[in-house]
Structure 1
Amino acid sequence: MKNFTKKAVLAALIAGAAPAGMIAAAAPAAAQVVPGLGVANPDAIVANSNAFKTAETQRQTTYKAQIDQAEARRQQIAAQLEPLYTKFEADRSAANPDQNALRQQAAQIQQIEQSGQAEIQQILQPLALSRAYVVEQISDKLMDAINAAKTKRKITMVLDPSAVVMADQAYNLNQDVVNELNTLIPNAQIVPPQGWMPRAQREAAAQQQAAAQQQQAAGQQTSGGR
């Protein structure tokens, strides 16, 4: 039975872990193997920018109340689960365990774990929204930073690492872009405005609104033609 641990539930948000898939930006090589070609990892660049790193540190103070609340709730849930874990292990180790009873116990434990995780994630939602806000601010400057790095390195084509099977570090453009990004946006706001939503949600909401308006207009035309 998987324990309900702080590492499993809180690490990604409380510890300020970088979004999945991010890797450290490697230092650029002095020269390129093929002139005009470079490789850049946008996620790694954003994660290694000064604005992102500073925001990760500031968030631990700004959202301390939510972090403390989540940790307190985690401890409460862990205390609730501990005797259930103990009984489950004891019953499972019996000479003739009751499989139906074990399934019921396992289901109860799983339900408490899942609802507890959902509750803690809800408490920490402001942190997730803050990180999304910071990433969006930095990402808005990313293309300008890439273009500036391209110009300085005399690069005409930039590839994503996912499109490259293998490449020498001489092609790595990450740190060049990070340097430009640090100039363009040295700091980011960590508290989003009231009602702010990430770009993907805003676009989805706009599409839904446009579809609803089209449907309403079509209905009005149909009524008017009768």
Structure 2
Amino acid sequence: MAQHEIRLDAQLRSEFGKGAARRIRRDNKIPAVLYGHGTDPVHLTLPGHETMLALKNANAILTLSFDGKEELALAKDVQRDAIKPVIDHVDLVIVKRGEKVTVDVPVHVDGEAAPETNVVVENGTLSVEADALSIPESVVVSVEGLGAGSQILAKDVTLPAGVTLAADEELLVVNVTAQVTAEALEAELAEAEAEAGIEKDESDDEAAEGDAPAAEDAEKTED
């Protein structure tokens, strides 16, 4: 499914710097910059709550209304606070209707692989080229019935109509591996420890078993 346009009322801003940005965020708004298509960067203030909801969708197309005009834009970089669930700043790039853009689209895995296998997503996104107003929300990769050793490369992924691959065709997207049993894992660990010269400490039970013959010999000697 393609992205929907999301309308946001923005405001031009003339104050810059960290202090100005903090004041904007305290007012529950987000500082942003809009650029592209040979235009000078435009510094904007975006509504905080509406922008956060819009940017939950990857590659959301925003219709920005400001200064009596409208611009279509794609979020190029979203800087989020390391602790609080807020957005610190957004870089936006202007897009035009009918224009092709290159974006990273999330990979969605569908289906069940064969029993006793693990499905490993090696790359959670795939770079594609699509019409700016027809960017898919995700690309679906089916692993239904795949056995251990199966690999899905970028060139194997079925893309929606009008969308072309921009990533390396040989990029590994999904890898299906055999499940490792507890016994095999313990054997591998023991082998690795032996190669590294690590001596494993005896458990209490093993130590007790080892001490038993010695105790018996002592009793015979006393007799």
Q: Which has the higher helix share?
A: 1
Instruction: Please give the range of the TM-score, normalised by the shorter of the 2 chains.
Output: under 0.3
Q: Which has the higher strand share?
A: 2
Higher RCO (Cα < 8 Å, 6 or more apart): 1
Instruction: Report which of the two structures shows the higher radius of gyration computed on alpha carbons.
Output: 2
TM-score (norm 2): 0.23
